[in-house]
Amino acid sequence: MKVEALLDYLRNERWPTIWCPGCGNGIVLKAFLQAVHELGLSKDKMAAVSGIGCSSRATGYIDFNTLHTLHGRAVAFATGVKLARPDFHVVVLGGDGDILAIGGNHFIHACRRNIDLTIIVFNNMIYGMTGGQVSPTTPVEKVASTAPFGNTEPPFDTVKMAIAAGATYVARATVYHYPLLVQYIKRALSHRGTAVVEAVTNCHTYYGRYNKIGDAPQMIEYFKKNSVTLERAKNMTAEELKDKIVIGEFHVEDKPTFHDRYEKLVETISRKE
């Protein structure tokens, strides 16, 4: 889809973005806008919420109801918006550091509640905005500014964590797999309950440079070479899967949402009165 078709969703006066040329954040943002456009959703009935970080700047560039909030608190603010406006599509746009470290607690509890949010985790495996520090998704042995000899901490698997915590739609793609990313975001937006899409994206400025993967095109090529589909991964050993990015739709479940249970409670109480 040509970007011209999506101009109506952008605050064009806010451009250019602060993102480094070639940053994958632009690809993920375009995938999100394309998904909204193809679903025919009204931007006036949508709210996009972010915290702090490079990807969190996305809410400044899009012409929806937007909230650019505190570091790590995007999911908490989004929960409040959804409670106030259950008729809105509420989307969280944020990075791995913001959503899974500082905001990790909010993330798991949103999943537990199965509140109707779409959470798009821009996972570039590092803190970009603050200078390339280790994040909760930096793989072991990879280099960051706070791990110059290699990271010693095992990373979170966003997908497994979201499923374990109770999210009812969970998928992962990379910026190389753009059509898949659009498809998963469309399904997430159409899903009732907590929907998590992990978008593996390139921070070539820090992650790519520190780990000698290269510039933006080389990082995207890296994602292409190192991704395996969920179907293929099922027949691979743990050793074969080391350093691989497994992409696919991992979990789809129809379960009562937070609002379903809340409305049922209100109905029960009203009948007693």
CB of 132 to ligand SF4, least distance (A): 8
- 137 backbone dihedrals φ, ψ, rounded to 5°: -115, 10
Exposure letters 147-160 (e unless 16+ CB within 10 A, then b) = beeebeeebbebbe
Q: Where are the beta strands (DSSP E) in the chain?
A: 46-50, 65-68, 89-95, 118-123, 169-174, 195-200, 227-229, 245-252
| Between 10 and 230, CB nearer to ligand SF4 | 10
Interacting residue ranges for ligand SF4, rule: CB under 6 A: 19-20, 23, 25, 54, 124, 128-129, 203-206
| Between 28 and 47, CB nearer to ligand SF4 | 28
End-to-end Cα separation, the chain, in angstroms: 54
CB of 54 to ligand SF4, least distance (A): 3
Query: What are the structure tokens assigned to 206, written together?
Result: 């820090």
Are residues 210 and 143 in contact, defined by beta-carbon separation less than 8 angstroms? yes
CB of 21 to ligand SF4, least distance (A): 9
| Between 130 and 190, CB nearer to ligand SF4 | 130
Q: Which of 92, 118, 98 is nearest to 189 (CA)?
A: 118
| Between 82 and 204, CB nearer to ligand SF4 | 204
CB of 222 to ligand SF4, least distance (A): 14
Residue 162's Cβ-count burial label (10 Å; 0-12, 13-18, 19+) is: buried
| Between 79 and 202, CB nearer to ligand SF4 | 202
| Cα dihedral across residues 168, 183, 222, 124: positive or negative | negative
| Between 58 and 180, CB nearer to ligand SF4 | 58
Separation of alpha carbons 90 and 212, rounded Å: 37
Q: Where are the beta strands (DSSP E) in 63-222?
A: 65-68, 89-95, 118-123, 169-174, 195-200
CB of 193 to ligand SF4, least distance (A): 29
| Between 124 and 183, CB nearer to ligand SF4 | 124
C-alpha distance from residue 233 to each of 176, 179, 221, 230 (Å): 18, 20, 19, 5
